[in-house]
Structure 1
């Protein structure tokens, strides 16, 4: 049976960031991915936003790792020439009744360590974004956008340059403890395999709990709730220069249907929050008018005919409908008592922003 030092399961942003951090010349590192491409699920189906860290409970992993990850990610983009833009976002109180929520968000952001928010009164808001309807707003200059695909490729390149290897079409189906390490069993290219690894990182995203359920001796596996987020593109020229966000949804299940720009200037709206029972990436035409109604609150001049079904992503949530938002879970050997194993559960937004910081925590835990 082949034996390696590190096995990383999942080639999304988390798995690849862990590989880039942990790969070392002279030590073997294998990244395995079920799909035919890296980042096929959550990592490549999102808003591509570098989040500032405004919304999360102070002291939570989401809050801490978003701030740390944001700085690491901007630095990585500069070092590795990854396309990105720190264009800023406006968090808009559309109605006077929402100003108290906006002020509460500002206090929360400050408690999390975000001190660069700027209050934008209505005249200034009208000057910055004439198409936006609002009574006032907060400007977050630390928010940006990134080419997520180029980022994933750069992580893989960094890992491979240090000796890591990627194998696609490979599913680990079971983990069994073997002394100080693990035996991973599964299928690769349709053929069964077994592999010994001294340490294993379960970065399976939407499939992390499935593998955890087949891991010998592992208890306390959190529930998984699939939450679809759908996007519509907006044809023609964008009326916005910044990202535009309404007030977040109750329990921060989502951040509301917001307006984001990609690096080519294409405007898109989303995501919504739609719990589902199985993977489904379709975006139905009949969502156009509900989307338009939600967007019209802050963008009254929207032309719903210009909304074109785009794509969807699925969040691996740990909280179900109506439940308070759950924090990231980085399950380490100190917590589950199984040497050499780290499980990553519920890494939804701001997971892309936090990916390099999460990789650092994983490295510290092993």
Structure 2
């Protein structure tokens, strides 16, 4: 079998793999992305809310908090420079009764701990002025929250990567990794199987990350977390659009609650909910779930008409925890975690992964000890 030799191999051409590969190519590394499908961002990265998060919810000092806050501003700057549609439309974080108020205050305190200084407490009159249709007992407004054309963003990352000499090998699954001090070897499948030797290997395979890690010779199995799948369903709204901003209720144990999001055309949809499933290929939205959506949405928008919700799309969160466990931090495991030089495994990269992606690219480059070329966005 033929063997190629490059500086770095990134596995997975979702938003995370593209951003990491961009950072490595900016540092002058000859980098190849292996992607098992025939296009970029076709799995998890294409099935989300397209929200740019402010960094409100995450524990102080966590990877999520640090990369979300840094990544947010980097992402807005990147979109402006590249002509990508992104709007700071803002969101209202709301509680619908007094029992939820402590949770709302805790989120506001967390935001401050994370360096988010622009969260605004709203009076009842200010809430009514911003969103007349909204029913709540208290709210904060996050002006830094926004929405983005995620596909255009991923295309721009691909363009940067390729302009710096990077290559994406589509329809080329990574089958196994053999680690070694002199250089790791990635066995690739597809129409023309090949082995690729690289000093650095980044497993950013999303739902396939654990499986690939289990086929990494030289990696301790104790370094591989468990794997669960939490489906997020979305319903779009027919008829009159009620909101001008994103509306977020109090989060639930596995997600941020059934919120109202807007796309760049101003159309409203609701979701995602949390539906624990057994695999990553259950992507149909069951109309029967509409009943729980009506109940959830009417807590903050009682005027939601019967028959107004239409099944839209679904995505699967790559979970590394079960229903009984609180949401953990991102797992971006380097040599300090698994003792294998030059290998990075990414596990459980769900929300706010899109927002944090540029910052995570820089984070991975730093873990590898790569001195990056000047990046105006990070």
Smaller-chain TM-score range? over 0.9
**1:79 partnered with 2:90:** no
Q: Could you tell me which residue of structure 2 aligns to residue 231 of structure 1?
A: 234
User: CA 1:154–1:311 in structure 2 vs 1: closer, same or farther (change >3 Å)?
Assistant: same
Residue 25 of structure 1, CA deviation = 8.5
TM-score where L is the length of structure 1: 0.96
Q: In structure 2, what is the Cα distance between the partners aligned to 1:86 and 1:60? A: 24
Q: How does 1:242-281 map to 2 (within 5 A)?
A: 242-250=245-253, 253-279=254-280, 280-281=282-283
Q: In structure 1, what is the Cα distance between the partners aligned to 2:37 and 2:305? A: 38
Asked if the contact 1:229/1:270 (under 8 Å) is kept, the reply is: yes
Residue 42 of structure 1, CA deviation = 1.2
Asked if the contact 1:226/1:276 (under 8 Å) is kept, the reply is: yes
Name which of 289, 297, 302 aligns with 1:287: 289
Residue 27 of structure 1, CA deviation = 4.1
Residue 28 of structure 1, CA deviation = 2.2
Please, which runs of 5 or more residues in structure 2 have no aligned partner? 369-378
Name which of 97, 100, 104 aligns with 1:102: 104
Q: In structure 1, what is the Cα distance between the partners aligned to 2:80 and 2:277? A: 38
Deviations 1:312-339 (A, max 9, x none): 1111111110211110011112332212
Secondary structure of the structure 1 residue equivalent to 2:168 = strand
Deviations 1:276-325 (A, max 9, x none): 11121110111112111110000111123121111111111111102111
RMSD: 1.3
Q: Could you tell me which residue of structure 2 aligns to residue 57 of structure 1?
A: 59
Asked if the contact 1:181/1:339 (under 8 Å) is kept, the reply is: no
Q: Could you tell me which residue of structure 2 aligns to residue 217 of structure 1?
A: 218
Asked if the contact 1:25/1:163 (under 8 Å) is kept, the reply is: no
Q: In structure 1, what is the Cα distance between the partners aligned to 2:27 and 2:348? A: 31
User: CA 1:184–1:303 in structure 2 vs 1: closer, same or farther (change >3 Å)?
Assistant: same
Number of paired residues? 363
Please, which runs of 5 or more residues in structure 1 have no aligned partner? none
Q: In structure 1, what is the Cα distance between the partners aligned to 2:161 and 2:306? A: 44
Deviations 1:69-115 (A, max 9, x none): 11111111111111010000001111122222211211111111111
Asked if the contact 1:24/1:163 (under 8 Å) is kept, the reply is: no
Between 1:24-33 and 1:226-235, the stretch displaced more is 24-33
Asked if the contact 1:46/1:313 (under 8 Å) is kept, the reply is: yes
Residue 24 of structure 1, CA deviation = 4.5
Secondary structure of the structure 1 residue equivalent to 2:60 = coil
Q: Could you tell me which residue of structure 2 aligns to residue 349 of structure 1?
A: 351
Residue 124 of structure 1, CA deviation = 1.5
Q: In structure 1, what is the Cα distance between the partners aligned to 2:28 and 2:116? A: 40
**1:201 partnered with 2:202:** yes
Secondary structure of the structure 1 residue equivalent to 2:189 = strand
**1:157 partnered with 2:159:** yes
Name which of 141, 146, 169 aligns with 2:171: 169
Asked if the contact 1:228/1:274 (under 8 Å) is kept, the reply is: yes
Q: In structure 1, what is the Cα distance between the partners aligned to 2:148 and 2:107? A: 24
Q: In structure 2, what is the Cα distance between the partners aligned to 1:174 and 1:69? A: 31
Residue 236 of structure 1, CA deviation = 2.8
Q: Could you tell me which residue of structure 1 aligns to residue 129 of structure 2?
A: 127
Asked if the contact 1:51/1:144 (under 8 Å) is kept, the reply is: yes
TM-score where L is the length of structure 2: 0.93
Q: Could you tell me which residue of structure 1 aligns to residue 9 of structure 2?
A: 7
User: CA 1:65–1:27 in structure 2 vs 1: closer, same or farther (change >3 Å)?
Assistant: closer
